Structure 1
Amino acid sequence: MPQMAPLLWSSLFVFFLFNLLLFLISTYFLLPPSKMKYNPCSTTYPQKNWKW
């Protein structure tokens, strides 16, 4: 029946969106994005002793 086609595609679309949302949420919480650990104070240059 052609009248049922929009209901079928809309339910499949909702199912797809639900699965996509579930996948994105699970990957975010299981594997959080890595953040750059930038510490400007960690780079210390040794001071040169100019006096002998």
Structure 2
Amino acid sequence: MHGRNPNWFGASREQRYDYLYLPRELEQMRLAIDQMVQHARLMFVMANNCYRGW
């Protein structure tokens, strides 16, 4: 969960990670995670606060 800049490789480091996930985006991820966790003994979901704590 590093952000979603569409120009990932052409953007500066600050632009790459400068992204605030919307609640609906997080909800979509949660639904996918809920499905995956049913098939795993242990699961980690990590977010990395890279730029300005976003």
> How does the TM-score come out when normalised to structure 2?
0.32
Q: Which has the higher contact order (CA 8 A, sep 6+)?
A: 2
**More helix, by proportion:** 1
User: Which of 1 and 2 has greater Rg?
Assistant: 1
